């Protein structure tokens, strides 16, 4: 049910199993008795005129307001932003690529650790997270026919420059240093 706030006041704070909580006493329009609302400090403080979705429950501790849970179990109005998700995946990929490349260079002294290699690994990790590429192990690769003649070989790919780079989705798996 939707309730409109006629009056709201912060009445305390306390520690719960979810961390620090703020306690508010709220008077809704059309309700004769006030209710208590508890929420995390990062949630916007309720103010006069706000409309809240939820239920009022009579408990042994008095009348409590319970916000309605949104899709995915979230309370409140958080909506995932696709651009933010991409940034999080890229940041995670870069962090893990740095860790991977450092571990690889410590284990294999011949491994050249460079910014270019880290970025290549990070790009691969991000594309894997986005679902753009998959990993196929040697055991999973289909066997090529051995007795049949090979098709005419493809011409070599041109060197990639800024002018020839059409899409950020191109990954040369041969150049990834792992």
User: 42 and 104: one domain?
Assistant: no
CB 122 within 8 A of CB 97: yes
Q: How far is the C-alpha of 49 from the C-alpha of 12, rounded, in Å?
A: 21
User: 24 and 63: one domain?
Assistant: yes
Name the average pLDDT for the chain.
Answer: 80
Domain limit, last residue, from 29, 44, 69: 69
pLDDT tens digit string along 9-62?
999 999 998 899 999 999 999 999 999 999 999 999 999 999 999 999 999 989
pTM, to two decimals: 0.41
Element (H, E) at 97: helix 82-107
pLDDT tens digit string along 122-136?
998 898 888 887 776
- pLDDT score at 142: 59
Lowest mean pLDDT among 90-94, 137-141, 165-169: 165-169
Residue 94's domain spans which residues?
A: 82-141+162-175
Q: How far is the C-alpha of 43 from the C-alpha of 161, rounded, in Å?
A: 48
Burial class (CB within 10 angstroms; exposed 0-12, middle 13-18, buried 19+) of 148:
exposed
Q: How many domains does the chain have?
A: 2
User: 62 and 89: one domain?
Assistant: no
């Amino acid at each position: 049910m939707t309730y409109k706030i006629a009056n709201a006041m912060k009445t305390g704070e306390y520690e719960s199993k979810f961390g620090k909580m703020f306690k508010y006493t709220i008077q809704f329009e059309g309700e004769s008795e006030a209710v208590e609302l508890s929420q995390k400090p990062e949630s916007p403080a309720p103010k006069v005129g706000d409309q809240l979705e939820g239920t009022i429950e009579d408990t042994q501790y008095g009348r409590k307001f319970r916000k309605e849970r949104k899709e995915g179990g979230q309370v409140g109005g958080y909506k995932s932003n696709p651009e933010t998700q991409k940034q999080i995946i890229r940041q995670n990929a870069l962090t893990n690529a740095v860790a991977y490349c450092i571990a690889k260079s410590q284990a294999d002294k011949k491994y050249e650790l460079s910014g270019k290699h880290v970025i290549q690994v990070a790009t691969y990790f991000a594309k894997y997270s986005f679902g753009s590429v998959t990993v196929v192990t040697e055991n999973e690769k289909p066997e090529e026919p051995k007795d049949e003649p090979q098709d005419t070989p493809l011409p070599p790919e041109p060197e990639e420059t800024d002018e020839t780079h059409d899409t950020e989705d191109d990954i040369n798996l041969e150049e990834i240093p792992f």
